[in-house]
A and B are shown apart, each in its own frame.
Chain A
Amino acid sequence: MDTAFTLLAGSSRRLVAELRDALDSCAERQRQLERSLRVSRRLLRAWEPAETLAPEPTPGPETNEEAPSAACIPSPQDLKELELLTQALEKAVRVRKGISKAGEGNKAPSLKSGSIATSPATRASYPPSTSHRAGSRASETKPPRGILQTRVPTKDLPERRLLSVGDQACMGQGAGATKPKSGLRNEQIVLSAASQAPEAFTLKDKGILLQLPEAFRKAASRNSRLWAQLSSTQTSDSVDAATTAKTQFLQKMQTTSGWPGPRLSATEVEAEVRHLQKACLLLRLRMGEELTAVVEQQLGPWPEGRFPRASLPCGGGADPIWSPQLLLYSSTQELQTLAALRLRVAMLHQQIHLEKVLMAELLPLVSKQEPLGPPWLALCRAVHSLLCEGGQRFLTILREDKPAD
């Protein structure tokens, strides 16, 4: 009975190879996804303080306009202190303007507020001397630098600590969502590495405080510009002349090949067939026929040797040049739907390909065997399951037993 399920060596090798290839490509996608998941999960947890805090003792706040990227990226601890300072400054500005939320009393002062706009109110007793200094500091705002500088003028150190200590007692409430942001970004903030920040940085709470370093921003926008330029330099007079010269060169290569007659490579044949398939499909569409369902079946099976996948009438050539393109989504659910559909389409392509391979290998097998014996029926049942039910379900076969003689 076991021999019924055994397939001929040739077919089985091809089938196993195809299935293994399908499994491998799934595994590869999974690996890439897992890599991305690791990174994303880590970003959403509390960030570890960076090994290299970058407080460099420099003489003054205006040392360099174009800070090197190394020193520009703030550690989570620095960001923490940045926020404390900013809140203190916010408070100072409000006190100065006479807008006082002093009466509201102190709820639980903690940095774990969901966002700045919803953090608890401040206490009344804000030291006026501190506010004075904070006020004067506020007037020192430099033009928008865009990065969080972390430099420590040593002369300011005692002052810094006072502020920090004071701040822990009166957690400020930002005047609004936008104010703290500009406050952070416009000022030369001076931090002390000595004071301990109570909380680690989380993206959820403090994400909107982040800003990319200047060097990176410049490189990124240049990058985007260059790509756009590159993908648009396809038509120009000099390109035409170059194309002509290239064609001449290729012809010359062909005629001095040393081979008798023209030769085509495997790659070229595949590429040509793909182009022809696409052209066929487009022609049929233009004639208003029914779509892929008909065409794919009529394009016929593939020859042995290489097993190319079904081609897609997708608008892409053999080597498209990348250019920056955006895909806008408005909700997580929308994104999930899109991604799920993409996977579903990929899976269907794979299923269709496997179905064709299975048909090509298994149907001849069934027709070659001795019909109607029990082993053959078992094989039929197995083949039916694979071919007609995706291997998920099995049919039942009822058979009249011949009466014993």
Chain B
Amino acid sequence: MGRRRRRRRVDPADAARALPEAIAALSQTLPAGPSPETFRRAKFDRPEAAPALWRLLFRVLSPQLADGASASFSPEAQVRSVKLALRTQGYPRRALAQLPDDGSQGGRELLLALAWLLARGPLPERLLTQNRVQLGDEMPVCECEALASPGPPAPSVEADGCVDIRHLQWLMGKLRFRWRNLMASQQEQCALLGKIHSYTRGCHSDRSLGHLSVTETELLRDPEGGRQLLRRLERENARLQAALEWRRRELVFWRWMVGGRGPQWSAARTALREAVGQDLAALRQACERGGGCSLAQPHGPHRLVRTEAGAPGGPGLRAPEVIEALRSQEARLEVVLRQLQGQCRQELARLVGAPPGPVWILPPGR
């Protein structure tokens, strides 16, 4: 157990500074982060700290909201939203739900909640990723993100009642039409991107990129927009820097949060939990990376770069490889769909009954 633990001889003055510096970094990397002093007050459950922490948790738990949009939610609405979000994520402590909705109390509990969120995953990085400034023309090389979005909410009991199956057929037709439109628009956008990339070749200071993206060209066309983009970029840089600082210093924060270990903890039990936890995490990571399996494919949005014909190009994915991977995905999915449809055909044939039932003439052209 002691193998992984590092004991450091720390100068008391450094130790005293370390915690506020860690919290300052945390506060700067999170959106709407309160001051280190507020954090300290929260730990002692001072009431004046509570509103700031409710606001912080609201921003952190609803990152899809634009920067100024939080203001349109009343304090009570923010409190309720935070409680719901934490409950959905499995927050283990009952005390949070019992805090008053007016947001006047609960600094200490909220601090625990924030720490709980931070402990479970790379929260600052995730928030930064979700709202990051996109400078390039990006295309995801997989459909992970789209698929990860939740389906429709379970439909509530409505007065609508029954629905005609022909309405479903109509909806299906509408869906097909939308996909066709989407395809056409997408092709046009690619053609335009191709032109913009061509026309600005050699303009980028970064040689590995070569040409400008739409965003970069747009900032040249629209100086005011360009200034705003630059400001956003600089703000993001500050938060990124703070996130790196936080990662360097966060240990002292965790020691502050954990405090002394309670009497019910035994060294052996701790070691066991650690070991199991690490194994699970490693297994999870291996699964997530697709560990060596041929199906593993790159993931996430990539910046599009147009290379000149014949030029070898630098680091990065090549389009032909992605196309190959997508083609095999397409083929596999088509097989699945056809199999499902085949199952339906068999099942329906069975339900209708063998001859001498009615004769089914299938539509031509398959």
Binary B-proximity of A284-308 (CB < 8 A = 1, otherwise 0): 0110000111001100000011111
Contact A343 B182 (CB under 8 A): yes
Contact B336 A326 (CB under 8 A): no
Binary B-proximity of A350-378 (CB < 8 A = 1, otherwise 0): 01100110010001001100011000010
Stretch at the interface among A131-139, A189-197, A317-325: A317-325
**Min C-beta distance of B219 to chain A, whole Å:** 7
Binary B-proximity of A244-259 (CB < 8 A = 1, otherwise 0): 1111111111111111
State A103–B283 Cα separation when bound (angstroms). 77
List A contacts of B152 (CB < 8 A). Answer: 17-18, 20-21, 307
Contact B330 A344 (CB under 8 A): yes
Contact A212 B212 (CB under 8 A): yes
Contact B6 A257 (CB under 8 A): no
State whether the Cβ of A70 lies closer than 8 Å to any Cβ in chain B.
yes
State A20–B328 Cα separation when bound (angstroms). 29
Contact partner, A352, options B115, B181, B337, Cβ 8 Å: B337
State whether the Cβ of B191 lies closer than 8 Å to any Cβ in chain A.
yes
State whether the Cβ of B71 lies closer than 8 Å to any Cβ in chain A.
no
Contact partner, B190, options A279, A339, A351, Cβ 8 Å: A339
B277 to chain A: closest residue by CB: A247
Contact partner, B121, options A26, A319, A351, Cβ 8 Å: A319
State whether the Cβ of B47 lies closer than 8 Å to any Cβ in chain A.
no
Q: Which of A1-27 contact B (CB under 8 A)?
A: 2, 5-9, 12-23, 25-27
Known: A50-B223, A297-B339. A39 touches B218 (CB 8 A): yes
Q: Which of B333-366 contact A (CB under 8 A)?
A: 333-337, 339-341, 343-345, 347-348, 351-353, 356-363, 365
Count of A residues near B, CB < 8 Å? 186
Contact B125 A317 (CB under 8 A): no
A291-B332, A309-B149, A397-B359 are known; give 7 further A-B pairs, CB within 8 A: A33-B185, A43-B214, A242-B254, A285-B293, A382-B166, A386-B165, A395-B361
State A338–B329 Cα separation when bound (angstroms). 13
Contact B323 A210 (CB under 8 A): no
**Min C-beta distance of A203 to chain B, whole Å:** 5
Q: List 14 A-B contacts (CB under 8 A).
A: A9-B163, A23-B178, A212-B204, A252-B258, A265-B88, A292-B332, A325-B302, A332-B194, A334-B320, A340-B183, A340-B187, A341-B326, A342-B326, A391-B176
Contact partner, A380, options B219, B293, B348, Cβ 8 Å: B348
What 5 A-B pairs have minimum CB-CB distances, sorted nearest first?
Answer: A265-B90, A326-B316, A332-B194, A207-B199, A307-B151
State whether the Cβ of B12 lies closer than 8 Å to any Cβ in chain A.
no
List B contacts of A111 (CB < 8 A). Answer: none
Contact B147 A310 (CB under 8 A): yes
State whether the Cβ of A157 lies closer than 8 Å to any Cβ in chain B.
no
Interface size band for B: 35 or more
State A229–B215 Cα separation when bound (angstroms). 24
List A contacts of B291 (CB < 8 A). Answer: 282
Contact B199 A70 (CB under 8 A): no
Contact A343 B172 (CB under 8 A): no
State A5–B164 Cα separation when bound (angstroms). 5
Q: Which of A268-294 contact B (CB under 8 A)?
A: 268, 275, 278-279, 281-282, 285-286, 291-293
Contact A335 B165 (CB under 8 A): no
State A258–B118 Cα separation when bound (angstroms). 21
State whether the Cβ of A129 lies closer than 8 Å to any Cβ in chain B.
no
Interface centre among B190, B234, B247 (most CB of A within 10 A): B190
A205 to chain B: closest residue by CB: B199
Contact B302 A326 (CB under 8 A): yes
List A contacts of B165 (CB < 8 A). Answer: 5-7, 379, 382-383, 386
B90 to chain A: closest residue by CB: A265
State whether the Cβ of B102 lies closer than 8 Å to any Cβ in chain A.
no
Binary A-proximity of B72-91 (CB < 8 A = 1, otherwise 0): 00000000000000011111
Q: Which of B230-255 contact A (CB under 8 A)?
A: 230, 233-234, 236-237, 240-241, 243-244, 247-248, 250-251, 254-255
State whether the Cβ of A176 lies closer than 8 Å to any Cβ in chain B.
no
**Min C-beta distance of A40 to chain B, whole Å:** 4
Known: A6-B164, A241-B4. A326 touches B317 (CB 8 A): yes
Stretch at the interface among B36-44, B52-60, B128-136: B128-136
State whether the Cβ of A238 lies closer than 8 Å to any Cβ in chain B.
yes
Known: A73-B223, A258-B94. A325 touches B298 (CB 8 A): yes
Contact B336 A293 (CB under 8 A): yes
Binary B-proximity of A26-51 (CB < 8 A = 1, otherwise 0): 11011001101101111110010011
